[in-house]
Structure 1
Amino acid sequence: MKVKEVAELFDISIRTLHHYDQIGLLTPKEVTDSRYRLYSEENLETLQQILFFRELGFTLKEIKKMMDSPSFDRKEAFTLQRKMLIEKRNKLDKMIEHIDKTLKHISGEIHLTNKERFEGMNMKLNQYEEEARCRWGNHSIDDMNLKLSRLSNEEQRDVSARWDRIFHHLASLRNLPTQSKEVQSAIKEWYDFLNENFSHYSLDAFYGLGQLYMQDERFTKNIDRYGKGLASFMCEAMKVFTNHHKRGHNDENHH
């Protein structure tokens, strides 16, 4: 398809398509001698995903980084985008419901407390957006491997040894409750290790990474080599760790 046809099909401007080409986000399959851009079926699928990501609030820079990742999977992305859109729809439905209640409150039909008036207005990043950023963004497996490759042989050995030690220790604690002091201490060591050796992991990113341990077969398979069920155990322990530290942070702010 020519650029004009693609622009009409997706209801976007030709200028937008030219811009996507210029930044390397969407390169046409072919450019004719007359400089006509020709888009393939695969190009159209890629554009569809770009527009979904845009609708979900990702910047072009973030989208390019995710789609350029060696681990990016088209089908996985569509599945994840569907989950994100459903969550967005549910959030919008709740907000519409709250507007309806607020209008009734204003007209005197019902009385709402302040808590009732403003609950449901949480604009927090949803878990699927965090997952996308984790899976194909700054905290991807490939990013970790790249940083490891930049270390000297001795540094790589030290990091690998500590990595193994942490996972063997966690595997030995699998029969304990995930909220126990021993397990949470070991999970904190993993959190500190990631932050010291790779890049800054917020509590949300750490939680998202834990979710990936169960959702991404590569993670599950590699982690369970240290002990059957370890990936699931760590996922739950990381969730407990995140919730506990978030509560602590909120309590500090409250005081």
Structure 2
Amino acid sequence: MQTYLIKQVAEMAGVTVRTLHHYDQIGLLSPAYIGENGYRYYTREELLRLQQIMFFREMDMPLKAIQRVMASAEFERLQQMKLHRDKLAQNVDRQRELLTVIDRSIAELNGDIKMNNEELYKGFSPEKQKAYQDELVSKHGGQMRDKVENSNRKFDQDAQAHTGGEAGLVNERMEQLKQIEGELILMMQAGKAAHDAEVLDLIARHHKWVGQWWNKQPDAQSYAGLADMYKYTPDFVTRYERLADGFTEFLVDAMKTFATEKL
């Protein structure tokens, strides 16, 4: 039976030795045995268990939840692998849709095509959008829920605002957002601080833009809460960092400064 030292397992899996020690401490993954020399030895069985843990982690499952699932009498590796595969296949399909949206968006920016409103948002996960909204509500209570619901209703109404084949308010407002973010990025890259007066003037436009969707201008608490959501939600961070490195932190700092000083 072949065995592996903890350092070898860490290198194979691309994790740290400290991570494996932690998994052992919480009872999630222990070595097959510890030798008289004090070394930890892992076998193929532990490697497979670690793979399963990493699949769960890739799905953003907390360690405590992973412990519960893997400790369950109903846990069966083959069944879990099939579930993982189904989940990954769904993600692949969604990523393909998003790539199509990106490609068509690039084509529109080049002047080759014109996307309709529905195409703008194809591929985005409704479940994730709801999770983002629920996160705001959990932090700021029922008042935030009302704002989110009003925003959703207004979005649905605006998305239907087509006249004579022309794009409705959704396209117009997304263009407004693109302009605001673009100017903020230029300010950031020019070395302006998040609390600079010119930056806060742009943030005032962003604040007003958010209010268009909420049907009410955000107060200091809710606008700062929105900034926190941008900061701690991976999809938002990914979006802003694709626009420009460091833009997430810059935008969040500017929004919070605006909330404190102007609202």
TM-score calculated relative to the size of structure 1: 0.48
